[in-house]
Amino acid sequence: MSKKLRQTTKENDLSFHNPFHLSSNVRTGEVLELLPPGSFAKLENQPNDLPPFQVIDCKGGRCRVRQQSWGRYIHWEVEHNRLKSA
Protein backbone atom coordinates (compact mmCIF):
# COMPACT_ATOMS: atom_id res chain seq x y z
CA MET A 1 0.00 0.00 0.00
CA SER A 2 2.84 2.44 0.75
CA LYS A 3 4.12 2.02 -2.80
CA LYS A 4 0.77 3.17 -4.18
CA LEU A 5 0.81 6.32 -2.02
CA ARG A 6 4.25 7.34 -3.26
CA GLN A 7 3.40 6.77 -6.89
CA THR A 8 2.17 9.91 -8.65
CA THR A 9 0.27 10.18 -11.86
CA LYS A 10 -0.21 13.16 -14.12
CA GLU A 11 -3.69 13.77 -12.67
CA ASN A 12 -2.58 14.16 -9.05
CA ASP A 13 0.84 15.75 -9.63
CA LEU A 14 0.94 19.19 -7.95
CA SER A 15 2.63 20.89 -10.89
CA PHE A 16 -0.18 19.69 -13.15
CA HIS A 17 -2.79 21.58 -11.08
CA ASN A 18 -0.80 24.77 -10.66
CA PRO A 19 -2.99 27.58 -12.11
CA PHE A 20 -0.16 30.13 -12.15
CA HIS A 21 1.96 30.47 -15.25
CA LEU A 22 4.61 33.15 -14.86
CA SER A 23 5.96 34.76 -17.95
CA SER A 24 8.00 37.85 -18.60
CA ASN A 25 7.29 40.52 -21.18
CA VAL A 26 10.96 41.48 -21.24
CA ARG A 27 12.96 39.58 -23.81
CA THR A 28 15.90 37.70 -22.34
CA GLY A 29 19.28 39.11 -23.17
CA GLU A 30 17.90 42.61 -23.70
CA VAL A 31 19.70 45.29 -21.70
CA LEU A 32 17.32 47.98 -20.48
CA GLU A 33 18.44 51.51 -19.76
CA LEU A 34 18.30 52.58 -16.12
CA LEU A 35 15.39 54.98 -15.67
CA PRO A 36 15.27 56.03 -12.01
CA PRO A 37 12.14 57.72 -10.60
CA GLY A 38 12.17 61.45 -11.32
CA SER A 39 14.24 61.14 -14.49
CA PHE A 40 12.88 62.12 -17.89
CA ALA A 41 12.41 59.81 -20.87
CA LYS A 42 11.11 59.91 -24.41
CA LEU A 43 9.18 57.30 -26.36
CA GLU A 44 10.87 55.68 -29.34
CA ASN A 45 8.74 57.59 -31.90
CA GLN A 46 7.89 60.64 -29.83
CA PRO A 47 7.36 63.89 -31.79
CA ASN A 48 9.88 66.66 -31.11
CA ASP A 49 7.19 69.11 -29.99
CA LEU A 50 6.04 66.79 -27.14
CA PRO A 51 8.07 67.29 -23.95
CA PRO A 52 9.72 64.26 -22.31
CA PHE A 53 7.81 62.14 -19.81
CA GLN A 54 8.75 62.05 -16.15
CA VAL A 55 9.37 58.52 -14.87
CA ILE A 56 7.34 57.65 -11.76
CA ASP A 57 8.63 54.08 -11.34
CA CYS A 58 9.52 50.93 -13.28
CA LYS A 59 8.55 47.38 -12.31
CA GLY A 60 8.33 44.12 -14.20
CA GLY A 61 9.28 45.54 -17.59
CA ARG A 62 6.72 48.36 -17.43
CA CYS A 63 7.15 51.98 -16.39
CA ARG A 64 4.63 54.52 -15.15
CA VAL A 65 5.29 57.93 -16.69
CA ARG A 66 3.51 61.27 -16.73
CA GLN A 67 3.65 64.68 -18.30
CA GLN A 68 4.20 67.49 -15.80
CA SER A 69 1.18 69.32 -17.19
CA TRP A 70 -1.10 66.30 -16.54
CA GLY A 71 -1.16 66.80 -12.80
CA ARG A 72 0.08 64.66 -9.97
CA TYR A 73 -2.34 61.72 -10.15
CA ILE A 74 -2.56 61.05 -13.88
CA HIS A 75 -0.02 58.66 -15.38
CA TRP A 76 0.50 56.33 -18.32
CA GLU A 77 1.99 52.83 -18.19
CA VAL A 78 4.34 51.89 -21.04
CA GLU A 79 6.77 49.06 -21.76
CA HIS A 80 10.27 49.82 -20.50
CA ASN A 81 11.91 48.94 -23.83
CA ARG A 82 9.89 51.71 -25.58
CA LEU A 83 11.57 54.41 -23.46
CA LYS A 84 14.98 56.04 -23.69
CA SER A 85 16.37 58.70 -21.37
CA ALA A 86 15.95 62.29 -22.51
Write down the domain spans for the chain.
Answer: 2-85
Beta bridge partners of 65: 55, 76
- Kindly tell me if the per-residue pLDDT of 1 is higher than 90: no
The pLDDT assigned to 65 comes to 95
Instruction: Give the DSSP H or E segment for 77.
Output: strand 76-79
The pLDDT assigned to 36 comes to 93
Of the chain, the percentage scoring pLDDT greater than 70 comes to 64
Mean pLDDT of the chain: 78
Q: Around 27, how many Cα atoms within 13 Å sit in the side-chain half-sphere?
A: 5
Residue whose C-alpha is closest to residue 51's, from 64, 63, 62, 65: 65
Query: How far apart (Å, rounded) are the C-alpha atoms in residues 17 and 11?
Result: 8
Which of the four pLDDT bands, split at 50, 70 and 90, describes residue 66? very high
